[in-house]
DNA sequence: TCTTATTTTATAACCATTCCTATTTAGAAG
DNA sequence: CTTCTAAATAGGAATGGTTATAAAATAAGA
């Protein structure tokens, strides 16, 4: 789903295409894993009077339309990305970097478990938390430092 | 890990055992998927002057010690449960009920994906969102109602 | 162009969680 | 049992992400 297609999809649902909305879609097309505040800051560059309400309201509309997904990087702010191909993430608990992994672990065994409860699946989240190469390295260095202080 | 063992583990780490802490552990031993506010309300029954700060501070300590886990039911509040056997959840987006499923989809393919990024795994979340039998039924009824109004 | 329902702005409110600090206390030591 | 003190709590204020409100602006169809 490219930018033009997104616009079309959005208008087809009966929503008006405002400059603010065009910008939100444009920003989401360019950057993945972006927070509401980051979107807000970027829109301000060309629309200085934009309000946070506009950003959140439209993100919620895009969520309802299923055009974007919501992610939890465990850093206190929700992140958003265009709903392109289904994937999951390796998320660094230190620096917040997120690697995308294309392998999805959802399998028939899981499906049967849900089915046995007569549970109707809408979506699933699978996120792996840990430390990226850099932060793992820095962590080790910091621990070494502590040990040196103690001795 | 039963209640007595929890207490022991907690003291072994050098923390003082206050009545508030004993209660928090007792409540967590009895109820799973409980929010900070629910814990707060229950403690108030025997310790009317307990503060929210105490609840949150101790939940964070228990998280650090790895004695409890944090869950996101997408209802705006964090939930907690004792770190017993590893499991995942089917979470109803309407009523918030959570069914536990014992099957974990983490596999060697995922592990290799992380390894190829030199990513050090701490933990993972896998939650399935949807509608339980009751809410699915109520949803259908509501939709039928709408259709009748339109005609 | 005119009209109107939709959208935005600006600001206040909300609410889960964290922070601050004076006071209290668990547990160690005597 | 009493004393001592580092650790913990109570009470309340602050924070920060998100949502609600209502007056003003505007997209888009007639
Ligand atoms: Mn992604
Ligand atoms: Mn559980
Ligand atoms: Zn998946
Ligand atoms: Zn698992």
Q: Where are the domains of chain B?
A: 1-84, 89-151
Q: Do domains A1-84 and A89-151 have the same CATH topology?
A: no
Q: Are A81 and A35 in contact (CB under 8 A)?
A: no
Query: What pLDDT does B2 receive?
Result: 81
Does residue A95 surpass a pLDDT of 70?
A: yes
Query: What pLDDT does B150 receive?
Result: 38
Does residue A33 surpass a pLDDT of 50?
A: yes
Query: What pLDDT does B24 receive?
Result: 98
What's the mean pLDDT in A49-72?
A: 97
Which strand C bases fall within 7 angstroms of a protein CB?
A: 6-12, 15-21, 25-27
Going from the Cα of A34 to the center of ligand 1, the distance in angstroms, rounded, reads 10
Give the nearest nucleotide to B16, CA to C1': C26
Residues with CB under 5 A from ligand 2 (ion): B 81, 100
A87 has a chain B CB within 8 A of its CB: no
Does residue A53 surpass a pLDDT of 80?
A: yes
Does residue A118 surpass a pLDDT of 70?
A: yes
- Å between CA of B12 and C1' of C27: 13
> Right CATH number for A1-84 from 2.40.30.10, 3.40.50.20, 1.10.10.10, 3.40.50.720?
1.10.10.10
Q: From the Cβ of A53, is strand D under 7 Å away?
A: yes
Query: What pLDDT does A3 receive?
Result: 87
Max CA pair span of chain A? 69
The residue with greater pLDDT, A138 or B19, is B19
- CB–CB of A113 and B107 under 8 A? no
Q: Which two tokens stand for residue A37?
A: 């505040």
Query: What pLDDT does B65 receive?
Result: 95
pLDDT below 70 — which residues of chain B? Answer: 1, 139, 141-151
From CA A40, how far away is CA A138, in angstroms rounded? 32
Buried b (16+ CB within 10 A) or exposed e, B129-151: bbbbeebbeeeeeeeeeeeeeee
Q: From the Cβ of A56, is strand D under 7 Å away?
A: yes
From CA A61, how far away is CA A64, in angstroms rounded? 5
pTM beyond 0.85: yes
In chain B, residues 129-148 whose CB comes closer than 8 Å to chain A? 129-133, 136
Instruction: Provide residues 53-92 of A with CB closer than 7 Å to any strand C atom.
Output: 53-54, 57-58
What's the mean pLDDT in A53-82?
A: 96
Query: What pLDDT does A136 receive?
Result: 86
Size of interface A-B (CB pairs under 8 A): 110
> Right CATH number for A89-151 from 3.30.1490.190, 2.20.25.650, 3.30.830.10, 1.20.120.10?
3.30.1490.190
Residue A75 is classified by DSSP as: S
Which chain A residues touch B133 with a CB distance below 8 Å? 117-119
In chain A, residues 10-69 whose CB comes closer than 8 Å to chain B? none
Q: Which residues contact A3 (CB under 8 A, 6 or more apart)?
A: A25, A26, A29
The Cα of A35 is separated from the nearest Cα of chain B by a number of Å equal to: 17
Does residue A9 surpass a pLDDT of 80?
A: yes
- Kindly indicate the confidence band of residue A2, based on its pLDDT and cuts at 50, 70 and 90: confident
Q: Are B59 and B21 in contact (CB under 8 A)?
A: no
- CB–CB of B136 and A118 under 8 A? yes
Query: What pLDDT does A138 receive?
Result: 78
What's the mean pLDDT in A93-108?
A: 95
Burial class (CB in 10 A: 0-12, 13-18, 19+), B30: exposed
């Amino acid at each position: 789903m490219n930018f033009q297609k997104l616009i079309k999809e959005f208008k087809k649902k009966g929503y008006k295409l405002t400059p603010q909305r065009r910008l939100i879609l444009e920003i989401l097309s360019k950057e993945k894993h972006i927070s509401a505040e980051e979107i807000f800051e970027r829109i301000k560059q060309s629309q200085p009077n934009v309000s946070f309400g506009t950003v959140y309201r439209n993100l919620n509309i895009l969520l309802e339309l299923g055009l974007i997904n919501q992610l939890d990087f465990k850093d206190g702010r929700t992140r958003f990305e265009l709903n392109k191909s289904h994937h999951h993430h390796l998320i660094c608990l230190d620096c917040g970097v997120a690697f995308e992994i294309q392998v999805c672990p959802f399998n028939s065994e899981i499906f049967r478990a849900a089915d046995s409860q007569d549970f109707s699946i809408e979506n699933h989240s699978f996120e792996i938390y840990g430390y990226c190469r850099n932060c793992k390295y820095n962590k080790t260095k910091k621990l070494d430092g502590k040990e040196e202080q103690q001795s």
